[in-house]
A and B are shown apart, each in its own frame.
Chain A
Amino acid sequence: MGKITLKDVEYVAGLAQLRLTEDEKNRLVREMDDILAYMDQLNELDTDAVEPMMHAMEMTNVFRQDETGASLPREEALMNAPMHDGEYFLVPRILEGDTA
């Protein structure tokens, strides 16, 4: 019996906005448990004094002149949208009830 339970998988799926089938959930309990157990080998190392490597390149802010350049034309920005009205992306209604 590992550390990952069905409840954990359901909780994480909720955070990740995924809806899983019972089969997928059961599989993930097993697989995540295996993989996380493997990852636990990192605990063999004492890293208290180690600075985490948070960036691939140790760089400071990259600045540029604040100049307006060309931007994507609206019709191209919208061309892949599943729904749009020519001006905006459209999504299912967010607020309940009738809009007055």
Chain B
Amino acid sequence: MNTPWHYQSAREIRDAVRSGAASATAMTEWHLDRIAEVDPLVDAFTQVWRDEALAQAAAVDEKARRGDALGPLAGVPVGLKELLCTRTGTTSCASKILKDFRSPYDGTVVKRMAAADAVFLGKVNMDEFAMGSSTERSTIKVTRNPWNLKCVPGGSSGGSAAAVSAGECAISLGSDTGGSIRQPAAMCGCVGIKPTYGRVSRYGLVAFASSLDQIGPLTRTVEDAALTLNVICGRDPLDSTSADLPAEDFTAALTGDVRGLRIGLPAEYFTDALNTEMREKVEAAVDVFRREGAEIVPVSLPHANYAIAVYYIICTAEASANLARFDGVRYGFRHPAAKSVEEMYVLTKSEGFGPEVKRRIMLGTYVLSSGYYDAYYLKAQKVRRLIKRDFDEAFEKCDVIAGPTSPIPSFEFGTKTDNPLEMYLADIYTISTNLATLPGISIPCGLTASGLPAGLQMMARPFNEAALLRAAHCHEQKSGVRLGEPPVA
């Protein structure tokens, strides 16, 4: 074995555990050691479940000893974002208001990953309630980018991306409301998929914006992302918006072949707003597809520039409704000084939520308030329809739309926190995918001169994750782009 286990893929670890070449316990111990070694630098993990992980691994090894068939993620070390409900540990959403919250149940994705014999190493950091693009909004700790410890890991699933990038786990689950899987994946050099709205059950995902949220995997290889989708996708009676579709083997899309695939390039995604180096990397990736026989076609998304305005109306409106439940009655923080029910609500929320969460609750409340509903919320819903139509029309000419994931590479801490609008603008390329309910992927497509990863984003028609995986896998196999291990290794 040339590569240490912490840079082996989930598939390689799974195969080793299934064949008996390694035990799940050994894989778990290896990764716990790796966390002990690098997490003091990266700070991706908010909770490490040493005893529970070793018990889960022992159960997998016991299954193997009995000769039982092992699941598709046997012994694979996994990190879970702080907003996924787990009976183990706490589910804090990186917020003071849920600091000690212990979920009485496991979310559906957690159950499915456990049933696939994956091993949970613990929870990973995020922006409070997934509201942020740099993980600087966590109330727990500061997570650093393994490629440059002075820089942010992206967000909101920054802990998920940093942990996978630094080899602390092979797979992490994140959530994506406007780019929160794809953008940190791009900034940390990982693969990240936001599945189609409805692909993955949201039961046990603490809600931010219910018409936009999806759970998805962050991994180091495209194959690992496909393997994880195989496990987490599918109808769940506990989430009525989960789609009732036949189970799909996503690894079947990994042919390495893009001949005949039509890849659309939207002119609106290649403007001056795009950093020159990022543009070069994305164009190089497109050249790989062209060379491998894909058909590159120009497409247009005329309403692309309105996406941020639409997104920050809809997501704040939905958030203001969803977060109203944190009132100090049934769970979470309650302000000790409250003398009346009214005061309990007000003091609890005012003390329990951080500044970005309050800002979004305020914006959401404003756009839903009497007199402004039509001007903002209803208007945004109408433009959301126009954005979706743009994609419907573009997908008549192509199968996949390609472009940058983020207009900029990772940035240094504190450089964007003072201007919320500037931080929001960094989501320009990722949010349309959520508004139009499409699947999207980010894959690494090179390093900038200063050694920071660049991400290529691709989108497809609803429920056509297979096309994304096919193109992504081809790029991974044929481009020659190998980021290698981050300097923190």
A-to-B contact residues, CB < 8 Å: 8-9, 12-13, 15-20, 24, 28, 31-32, 34-36, 38-39, 41-43, 45, 47, 50-57, 59, 62, 64, 72, 76-77, 79-83, 89, 91-94
In contact, B362 and A9 (Cβ under 8 angstroms): yes
In contact, B334 and A18 (Cβ under 8 angstroms): no
**Which residues of chain A have C-beta atoms less than 8 A from B367's C-beta?**
39
Which residue of B has the minimal Cβ distance to A56?
B211
**Which residues of chain B have C-beta atoms less than 8 A from A52's C-beta?**
378, 381-382, 384-385
In contact, A45 and B104 (Cβ under 8 angstroms): no
- For chain B, the count of residues having a C-beta within 8 Å of the partner chain is 68
B-to-A contact residues, CB < 8 Å: 100-102, 104-105, 197-198, 211-212, 237, 240-241, 243, 303, 305-306, 308-310, 312-313, 320, 324, 327-334, 338-341, 343-347, 349-350, 353, 355, 358-359, 361-363, 365-367, 369, 376, 378-386, 388, 420-421, 424, 437
In contact, B198 and A57 (Cβ under 8 angstroms): yes
Min C-beta distance of B98 to chain A, whole Å: 9
**Which residues of chain B have C-beta atoms less than 8 A from A19's C-beta?**
346-347, 350
Tell me whether A45 and B349 are in contact in the complex, defined as CB-CB below 8 angstroms, given that A56-B241, A72-B104 are known contacts: no
Which residue of A has the minimal Cβ distance to B340?
A92
**Which residues of chain B have C-beta atoms less than 8 A from A17's C-beta?**
324, 327, 345-346, 349
In contact, A41 and B306 (Cβ under 8 angstroms): yes
**Which residues of chain A have C-beta atoms less than 8 A from B328's C-beta?**
82
Alpha-carbon gap, A80 to B90, bound state (A): 11
Tell me whether A54 and B381 are in contact in the complex, defined as CB-CB below 8 angstroms, given that A18-B349, A35-B312 are known contacts: yes
Tell me whether A12 and B421 are in contact in the complex, defined as CB-CB below 8 angstroms, given that A20-B350, A53-B388 are known contacts: no
Alpha-carbon gap, A80 to B240, bound state (A): 26
**Which residues of chain B have C-beta atoms less than 8 A from A8's C-beta?**
366
**Which residues of chain B have C-beta atoms less than 8 A from A28's C-beta?**
359, 362
**Which residues of chain B have C-beta atoms less than 8 A from A77's C-beta?**
104, 330
Which residue of A has the minimal Cβ distance to B364?
A16
Which residue of B has the minimal Cβ distance to A40?
B309
In contact, B104 and A35 (Cβ under 8 angstroms): no
Alpha-carbon gap, A34 to B418, bound state (A): 13
